[in-house]
Amino acid sequence: MKGGISSGIVYPRAVCHLAERYTFRRLGGASAGAISAAAAAAAEHGRRSGGFDKLKTVPTDLGTHLADLFQPAPTTKPAFAVLSNWLEPKRSMAGKIWQTLIAIIRGAPVAFLCAAVLMLIPALAIGSGFGLPATLAQWLGGSVALLVWAPVAVAIALVVALVFFVVRTLKALPGNGFGLCDGHTRDASVDYPPLTDWLADVLDDLAGLPKQVKPLTFGDLWGDAAVELAKALDLKEKKGTAPVEDRIAALEARRIDLEVMTTNLTFRRPYRFPFTSRIFYFCEKRLRVYFPGYVVDHLVGASAPAPDGKDGDHIVAMRCPCHGEQVRSLPDPWDIPVVMAARMSLSFPTLISAVPLFCVDWARGPGRRTLIEAWFSDGGISSNFPMHLFDSLWPTRPTFGINLSPQHPDYDNVVWTPRPQGRGGRLPRSYEMKSVVGMYKAIFDTMQNWVDTTQITMPGYRDRVAAVLQRPGEGGMNLKMEPGTIEDLANRGAQAAALFDDFDFDLHRWIRYRVAGSELDDTLAALRHSYRRGTKEFIEAYGPTAGRYPIKPDQAVTDDRAATAGLIAVADVAQELRHPSSAGTVPKPKPSLRLTPRQ
């Protein structure tokens, strides 16, 4: 499910429609899509207790409270007031400008008054003849000078107030996780829970758990058998003896598998959450700013303090840089609360605070390696429509994606899918550029979404994607949509899911088989070419003397040579049969099978 802040309102009823026909095994998303994926996973867990019936009502419940989820910290409240003013759908441009000026003055009243007074003093002095007005003429001169100069003085005072306002906001943002709203701080004037607290309650309710007692965890979703397999696999991986079959078995055993995308701004890269590596730590005090108390209590109870590390003769102190407390290792993946995953993925820059974890900066020089903050922000920054999360060369179950797009200029549809397989889905949708601002928007969109955009057009992808089309003023940053608009968007989600009612899974599997076969043909041909031109001799000569990553024990060396020879024999057969997997019409555009980093 794609990210999009308030656009996430389209997903609950889409999920509920699909739930009438399917049982959800794997769910994923980014940003607002991650919240919806988490809610769908919780509803599947609580299916017997009416999870999906409850999920269907979430858009209606939010009809008049969507904006209330976003509650600023005291230090960022003035800036949030300005943003909130510009999100008012019924306010005129003149009204928005006026309310913005009022908010700036309220945010920096001393700067405004001082600047205004200082600017009015010269006008009063000139008009009164640089003295106290003693005659009617001097009084009239001073009054006229004030009237003439007052607009200029107010304008300059506004500029000064704006500078103070911006500087104060820029200073406040880092202390609030680089965002206006941290998701947990409550605004006393709002009678509704903030985003993270609301989400934690919703997830507990959907899953059939009592609220604010024990948070829903990934282990709850996986099931006891899968957790036991994961624990056994974890022990084998620590010893370096985990076979591939065990990893596959552990994944397939999960009753409900949830994965979301988050972006590590410190490392400039995306991560899947829950993490597969054990390099991150958390500070209890820091997380209590972002999550309800009972969620942090669970994290503390399921974790252990991180012992100080060693960098040669240098001690790496595992203490929070903010207040010196010992940080704790993140719990095992099965003990991580689901609400943490959703919040780690939804951290829309500037609006919603990034979440701080910690790690050791091993990239520094010897003796300089210390514990640093690792800031996790919105998953949509790096992958806004992560269709790749559960991808498989030869799928055994259908997977669907719900995309979000602007209204098409040539069609009145509110939902759309590029099926059937054909030319209409091979090229991404075009967007006109009519201004310099439009050009920069296009540049930003391309940087953020080029992988997702090109992936959607691929055979075996485009047939399982439905798009909800949004009109101006809908979704995205439009936090103050009318209840009727929210209801309409929610129903569009169900309409998009209905496009999959006639999904031909057999055709989909056949397309994936043809695509995979064609790419394996190319890969095997390239391996065969390399093997016949020196790689075979290199492996046999270098392998026994390899100082790093040797194959052990000796029997494994023999088995490896035999397995490699067997792989090349398969390539030989494909060559002799003239690559039958690539015969006939192969679905286009042709993808590329290559190595990519694990996220």
The pLDDT of residue 75 is 92
Single out the catalytic residue among 197, 204, 378, 521. Answer: 378
**Residue % of the chain over a pLDDT of 70:** 93
Which of the two residues, 469 and 25, has the higher pLDDT score? 25
Contact predicate 199/35, CB 8 Å? yes
**Gap between the Cα atoms of 385 and 456, Å rounded:** 9
- Whether 189 is catalytic: no
Residue 120 has pLDDT above 80, yes or no: no
Q: List the one residue out of 66, 168, 189, 63 whose CA is nearest residue 108.
A: 168
**Gap between the Cα atoms of 229 and 255, Å rounded:** 12
Single out the catalytic residue among 6, 31, 383, 518. Answer: 31
**Gap between the Cα atoms of 305 and 276, Å rounded:** 19
Which of the two residues, 119 and 49, has the higher pLDDT score? 49
Tokens of 566: 């067997």
Contact predicate 1/29, CB 8 Å? yes
Residue 439 has pLDDT above 80, yes or no: yes
Which of the two residues, 312 and 300, has the higher pLDDT score? 300
- Whether 378 is catalytic: yes
Q: What is the dihedral of CA 235, 240, 241, 246, to 10 degrees?
A: 60
Count CB neighbours of 355 within 10 A: 27
CA distance from start to end of the chain: 18
Tokens of 579: 């690559």
Q: What is the dihedral of CA 275, 278, 283, 289, to 10 degrees?
A: 0
Query: Looking at residues 551-579, what average pLDDT do you find?
Result: 87
At 62, phi and psi to the nearest 5?
A: -85, 0
**Gap between the Cα atoms of 32 and 4, Å rounded:** 6
Contact predicate 339/199, CB 8 Å? yes
Residue 155 half-sphere exposure, CB side, CA atoms within 13 Å?
A: 5
User: Strands of 465-470's sheet, edge to edge?
Assistant: 401-406, 465-470, 415-416
At residue 329, the 3 state secondary structure works out as strand
At 481, phi and psi to the nearest 5?
A: -65, 150
Tokens of 552: 């052990």
The pLDDT of residue 424 is 46
The pLDDT of residue 553 is 81
Sort strands 179-181 and 314-316 into parallel, antiparallel or unpaired. Answer: unpaired
Tokens of 524: 């095997």
Tokens of 314: 């240098």
274 CB-near residues (< 8 Å, 6+ apart): 218, 259, 333, 336, 341
At 392, phi and psi to the nearest 5?
A: -145, 140
Sort strands 309-311 and 179-181 into parallel, antiparallel or unpaired. Answer: unpaired
Mean pLDDT over all residues of the chain?
Answer: 87
Alpha-carbon distances, residue 501 vs 291, 461, 496, 504, 588 (angstroms): 39, 17, 10, 9, 25
Q: What is the dihedral of CA 251, 254, 260, 266, to 10 degrees?
A: -60
Instruction: Give the range among 193-202, 251-260, 455-464, 494-503 with minimum mean pLDDT.
Output: 455-464
Query: Looking at residues 532-555, what average pLDDT do you find?
Result: 86
Rg of the chain over Cα atoms, rounded to whole angstroms, equals 30
The pLDDT of residue 144 is 56
Instruction: Give the range among 120-134, 162-176, 234-248 with minimum mean pLDDT.
Output: 120-134
**Residue % of the chain over a pLDDT of 90:** 42
pLDDT tens, residue by residue, 44-84:
999 999 999 999 999 988 888 888 999 999 999 999 988 88
Contact predicate 127/143, CB 8 Å? yes
Count CB neighbours of 598 within 10 A: 7
Residue 108 has pLDDT above 90, yes or no: no
Q: List the one residue out of 211, 194, 192 whose CA is nearest residue 202.
A: 211
The pLDDT of residue 141 is 54
Instruction: Give the range among 39-53, 185-199, 343-357, 400-414 with minimum mean pLDDT.
Output: 400-414
Query: Looking at residues 186-196, what average pLDDT do you find?
Result: 90
Domain ranges within the chain, ordered by starting residue = 6-71+185-381, 76-181, 510-577
Q: Where in 75-144 does DSSP place strands (E)?
A: none
The pLDDT of residue 462 is 84
Tokens of 253: 């055993």
Question: What predicted TM-score, i.e. pTM, was given to this entire model?
Answer: 0.88
Instruction: Give the range among 80-94, 252-266, 373-387, 487-501 with minimum mean pLDDT.
Output: 80-94
At residue 430, the 3 state secondary structure works out as coil
pLDDT tens, residue by residue, 221-240:
999 999 999 999 988 888 77
**Gap between the Cα atoms of 384 and 402, Å rounded:** 11
Q: List the one residue out of 508, 524, 515, 517 whose CA is nearest residue 581.
A: 517
| Model confidence band, residue 569 (pLDDT cutoffs 50, 70, 90) | very high
**Gap between the Cα atoms of 402 and 241, Å rounded:** 39
Which of the two residues, 128 and 342, has the higher pLDDT score? 342
The pLDDT of residue 2 is 81
At residue 377, the 3 state secondary structure works out as strand
Rounded to whole angstroms, the maximal C-alpha distance in the chain is 112
Residue 336 has pLDDT above 80, yes or no: yes
| Model confidence band, residue 149 (pLDDT cutoffs 50, 70, 90) | low
Sort strands 269-273 and 257-264 into parallel, antiparallel or unpaired. Answer: antiparallel
136-175 vs 93-107: helix axis angle to the nearest 10?
80
Instruction: Give the range among 454-458, 515-519, 526-530 with minimum mean pLDDT.
Output: 454-458
Query: Looking at residues 462-470, what average pLDDT do you find?
Result: 87
308 CB-near residues (< 8 Å, 6+ apart): 315, 316, 317, 318
Identify the burial level of 295 via C-beta atoms within 10 angstroms of its C-beta, where 0-12 means exposed, 13-18 middle and 19 or more buried: buried
Tokens of 320: 């929070």
Residue 587 has pLDDT above 60, yes or no: yes
The pLDDT of residue 137 is 52
Residue 190 has pLDDT above 80, yes or no: yes
C-beta contacts of 317-320 below 8 A and 24+ residues apart: 317/370, 317/371, 318/281, 318/371, 319/371, 320/283, 320/285, 320/286, 320/358, 320/371
The pLDDT of residue 126 is 54
**Gap between the Cα atoms of 513 and 9, Å rounded:** 35
Query: Looking at residues 450-471, what average pLDDT do you find?
Result: 85
Contact predicate 342/28, CB 8 Å? no
Q: Which helix (H) or strand (E) holds 145?
A: helix 136-175
Residue 370 has pLDDT above 60, yes or no: yes
